[in-house]
A and B are shown apart, each in its own frame.
Chain A
Amino acid sequence: MTDQNNKHDTHSPLNAAVQHPIVRLSDVCKTYEQGKVRVNAVHDVSLDIQHGDFAALCGPSGSGKTSLLNLIGGLDVSSSGTVIVDGIDLATIDGSELSEVRKNRIGFVFQSYNLIPVMTAYENAAFVLNLQGVDETECRDRVMATLKAVGLEGLEKRRPDEMSGGQQQRVAIARAIVTEPAIVLADEPTANVDSHTAESLLDLMEQLNRQQGVTFLFSTHDQHVMDRARRIIQMHDGKVASDHAQAG
């Protein structure tokens, strides 16, 4: 494992001393068939995401950002290459194990929040912990602490339709981080909220990243969001066009 990591250390432009990337992509391709046309959504991507990264996948629509997030999140299977998340090669495990990886090691934040509408904020945030079988007392402590951390203290009993878009996205972030996953994947997390709310969500994610060490990889094509990231991975036509650090 260590040898393999060393071999790919050059993939990351960030701290080269980090030996265990959370995500390692090696020569990953994803090809879709659209009728008789083959579309290379992701083409020969090699990439490491390190612990504590606050990275943005940037690029225009169709550049392969979401496809890449789906591959890292185990929601899709690569056509070739390897995707290793927290030391697990996703190509070598079955659907059931993939569910376990998603449940235990990855947090998802979707563009349109995707909360379960019949559950309260507390229940949505606790949902994955319940799936993990965490006992009730610990679950309650962790969820309450997380909801407080995302600024939703006092709104635990509200259902999604009783909250604003920003509040719903905060619940989604709480749901994603409460299990302390290896990485949080966020697909255009600020796309459906106004600029003020977007700013506060970015503040929140940055704060969680700096204070709690949560690793974030989010896709965006919003320049303002890109400016907040400390690492920019620029995608173009399914390829990584550039990968560089910047001051967050």
Chain B
Amino acid sequence: MNIISLASRNVRRNWQRSLVTTLAMAFASTIIIFYGALMEGMVRGSEHNAVAMSSGDIQIHAKDYRDDPDLYKRIIEPDLLTHKIRDAGFRAAARIYGFGLMATDSSSSGVQLRGLDLQHEQEVSEIDQHLMSGTWLRNDDSHGVVIGKKLARQLGVALGDELTFIGQTADGYMANDIFKVRGILKAVSTAIDSAGVFMPEESLRELLTLPEGAHEIVVIRDDPTVDLKVATQEVAALAPAYEVLNWQQLMPVIARFLETANVQTLIMMIFTYIAVASVVLNAMLMSVFERIHEFGVMKAIGVRPWQLVRLIYAETILQTCIASLFSLGAGWLIASHYQKHGMDMSALAGDISFAGIAMDPIWYAYITPEVLITPILFLFILAALAVIYPAIKVALIRPLDAIHYQ
């Protein structure tokens, strides 16, 4: 009779206890798989919001522009630079920015105007697909704008409503014009939501009397597997006169948070599994002490201590395998559901943002092989650790003591 067969019968011998132990392990792993998938979804969603909606992988600015966003601190001949960057295997688009006051009949708010090169912007950003309502900008609609959702709420405007801009041109005169709201964005970032006004580059250039230059060039890696730091160095080499920073340098808090998300999952997993370990340890101890007499007899007739250790481990691993299969199935099913449909957190938390980056109120899970495999691996490690004591106990007990154990 092989050890697996014997272990299987021993597991079934007290099936209620085995069931409780297995379910405890399965439940914990399922929770961890689901939690891991949610965290992965949040990380990917946040990174997506941070990179694809606004910052891009890499940004180029005139030196000191970020500290003092002056209209005159510009990138000279941006078309030339973007061509060079594209030739080097990247996608790039130039942007210009302006500041002023946007007003309606009853309200006004400070805004940041964002003039986009519509043709190339779509190559570096997905913001045109992030509309809550309305349509994206068109080059032939020079007075159409898309605004952030909080700004729309603050100004009390809806699609088709007019907004009046008051600001200053590059040559020091007053700039003012009337624009129509063509679209309202979903949550992107605090800055965009509450002050972002998007319009075609040419419209903004004309409004601000800014004949040339750009305030920002956004760069995206054509191949996302290329290391971000390496890509940043390559772009920096192409634009030595300017400040070149990647999104992790531009948003260090977000980058750090996303980097440590895996650690958070790990900590959650450790705490959950410690609780489960006590269940496994207790169950295996009970199982061992219940059979101590039997182990004594086995030792008396020639079973070696390490063979009993193997038996105890086989019983534990058998239960862990069953728990793993169950939790893989259940965890995958639950995570898949939330990967497809998401978890609507808006009722609980409204607009969620972290370090200025808006998070989608629909929280989507995301399944990766690591999300499924890591909790299972840890479960096996935990189970193996939890039965060390019972296994040693069995290995060391003298057969005579075990036979007379009451």
Contacts and interface: CB of A to CB of B under 8 A. Distances in A.
A123 interface: yes
B294 interface: yes
B302 A131 contact: yes
Given A110-B403, A118-B10, A123 B1 contact: yes
A103 B300 CA distance: 8
Interface in A119-173: 119, 123, 126-128, 130-132
B268 interface: no
A130 B303 CA distance: 10
Contacts of B13: 117-118
Interface in A46-102: 70, 73, 75-76, 95-96, 99-100, 102
Nearest to A102: B302
Nearest to B293: A114
Contacts of A117: 13, 294
B297 interface: yes
A104 B304 CA distance: 13
Contacts of B6: 118-119
Contacts of B1: 119, 123, 126-127, 130
Interface string B1-38: 10000100110110000000000000000000000000
A114 B13 CA distance: 16
A124 to B, nearest CB: 9
A161 B1 CA distance: 19
A130 B298 CA distance: 13
A18 interface: no
A175 interface: yes
A110 B301 CA distance: 11
Contacts of A126: 1
A108 interface: yes
B298 A116 contact: yes
Nearest to A75: B400
Contacts of A175: 301
Contacts of B300: 73, 75, 102, 108
A75 B9 CA distance: 27
Contacts of B298: 116
Contact of B302 (A76, A100, A114, A123): A100
Interface string B343-386: 00000000000000000000000000000000000000000000
Contacts of A102: 300-302
Nearest to B13: A118
B303 A99 contact: yes
Contacts of B305: 95, 99
Contacts of A104: 302
B91 interface: no
Residue of B297, B300, B303 with most partner-chain A CB within 10 A: B300
A75 B302 contact: no
B183 interface: no
A76 B304 CA distance: 16
A116 B398 CA distance: 18
A187 to B, nearest CB: 10
A177 to B, nearest CB: 12
A110 B10 CA distance: 22
B98 interface: no
Contacts of A75: 300, 398-400, 403
B400 A99 contact: no
A96 B298 CA distance: 14
Contact of A70 (B9, B302, B307, B400): B400
A22 B398 CA distance: 25
B297 A114 contact: yes
B182 interface: no
Contacts of A100: 302
B114 interface: no
Given A117-B13, A118-B13, A103 B400 contact: no
A36 B363 CA distance: 71
A175 B294 CA distance: 15
A93 B130 CA distance: 79
Nearest to A114: B297
* Chain B CB within 10 Å, residue with most, of A70, A75, A76, A126: A75
A123 B305 CA distance: 20
B299 interface: yes
A175 B13 CA distance: 22
Nearest to B396: A95
B294 A103 contact: no
Contact of A110 (B297, B299, B304, B307): B297
B304 A99 contact: yes
Contacts of B301: 102-103, 108, 127-128, 131, 175
B2 to A, nearest CB: 8
Interface string B280-297: 000000000000011001
A96 B304 contact: yes
Residue in A102, A103, A118, A130 whose Cβ sees the most chain B Cβ within 10 Å: A118
A17 B12 CA distance: 55
A103 B305 CA distance: 13
A128 B400 CA distance: 18
Interface of A: 70, 73, 75-76, 95-96, 99-100, 102-104, 108, 110, 114, 116-119, 123, 126-128, 130-132, 175
18 contacts: A75-B300, A75-B400, A95-B305, A96-B304, A99-B299, A99-B305, A102-B301, A103-B301, A103-B303, A108-B301, A114-B294, A116-B294, A117-B13, A118-B10, A118-B12, A119-B1, A131-B307, A132-B302
Given A114-B297, A119-B1, 15 more contacts: A75-B300, A75-B400, A76-B400, A99-B299, A99-B302, A104-B302, A108-B297, A114-B294, A114-B403, A118-B12, A119-B6, A131-B301, A131-B302, A131-B303, A175-B301
7 shortest interchain CB distances as A-B pairs: A103-B302, A118-B9, A114-B297, A75-B400, A102-B302, A123-B1, A99-B304
